[in-house]
Structure 1
Amino acid sequence: MLKKYDPSNPQMVHSAVCFTDILGFSQMVLDAHQNGTGDQLLQRLHKILTEQYEDLKPEEDYMGVFKAFTDNIVIGLPIYDDGESQLGGIFLDFASFQLALTLEGFFIRGGLAVGDYYGDNEFAYGPSIIEAHYLENNQAIHPRIILSDESVQMVREHIDYYAEPSWAPQYRDLLQDNTDGKWFINYLEALMTDAHEQGNYQDVVTQLLVHKDVIEQNLTKFQGNARVYPKYEWAAQYHNYFCTHNIPQRLLQRHNNLLITQQTMGNFARII
């Protein structure tokens, strides 16, 4: 029997929980207010977040719970069977969410944890949301959604189901940052559906150029800021890694402006 969050009898359920927010959101709002563009920022945020929130909401009430307060987002999904479906759904949904916001210049950081959780329209409660928030606030650091140790262990078990690890969907959905060992959602993979199915890279290249541009804008803006600049330097290195490992060499040569110059590929790897 599928477990769910029942507001008539609130009890915690073993769940996958993701907590995210927008990097630098408070300062972004204050800066916009100061320079007289507060309403423009509000309209941009309202449009993109309203669209993306609608896509993230679970289809059935209390089978999964979505909560948002401006830039803070929580999704809880009760785990049933082995949890592969719930984790896989979060990977796919948040990859698309993170990609859409990043292309608009809003960079996302978050944490994904597995554990006891209860959520409804008013409540978000349990050790797993505390862990997810801790991961976002203390360990993610860069614009990435990282997995807890228990989440990583679950994914390792799921990958073992496949005769070849590279056949597992997680092989594309996740990457490991070798600088600290953290696994994170490979959000640029959300661009690749047509490329995988039809070999069509036209839209992929177009959106990667947008991704490059928003990163370069922040590298310029925060040059010399020792606290903020490394976050966008990480994003640049991730961008270069993804392009180098996913775009055919002939296209990289044709679009020789696709990589972010003066940045390395970063120290990333497939999770297997």
Structure 2
Amino acid sequence: MTIDISWPALAFFSLILLVPLLINWHFHLALGKDMLLSIFRMVAQLALLGVYLQFLFDLDKLWINLLWLALMLMVGASAIIDKAKLPKRGLFLAVTCGLLLGLSPVLFILLFGLLKPDPSYSAQYLIPLAGMLLGNSLSGNIIALQRLYNRLSEAKQEYYGYLALGANRSQATQSFVQSAMQQSFAPLLASMSTVGIVTLPGMMTGQILAGSDPLVAVKYQLVILIAILVMLSISVSTTLSLSIRTTISPCGRVNIPSPHA
């Protein structure tokens, strides 16, 4: 049985947000405006999402679920590029395709091969699963794009040296792509290697608090972590490959400024 949280109790608990605001003031971090804006957006977006998801779950129409999924992909792609501090032109389609190609097969296997909800497009499963997969792929894609274009800017001589020796665009960027992918996978691999000992994942914790059997929660968490690793692998590799094609000319000229990390 899930223990409900009253709105007054939630409001009282939220007073602890004064702690990061006071720390920001004490250390002169100049993050007060960003913190307050982020808190406001979080509350507003989650409140609207809760109302909308209730409507979405009750309606449960395939075309509406797919439309919402498309919106999630586009917002996710936009957030990745913004946080990587890169221009959307030339990258938005590449990142969106990377997320779509990473999400689609994994989501299909989860819904049609493993969980098999009725109907298969049930919003109760489709939307939360897609949200978890996309949400956990954002940081990896951000790191990968930042690393790639920062390295291309920092190691110009090395890059142009490859081109001068006759390497094509793909060959000249290979070491940069490898470095970007290694860094993008590092946080997830570290999390996976310490899960259950150092960390207790959010999904597993939520299910246990909701009254699920701990072993059932463990199985769901294993499924999600495996799915996230697979999606991240596909989305990052696709995003980097397409980004190189759209932002670097066939002759090797980089047509995008480096991000300000």
- The TM-score bracket by the shorter chain reads 0.3 to 0.5
Q: Which has the higher helix share?
A: 2
* More relative contact order, 1 or 2 (CA 8 Å, 6+ apart): 2
Q: Which has the higher strand share?
A: 1
Larger Rg, first or second structure (1 or 2): 2
**TM-score, normalised relative to structure 2:** 0.32
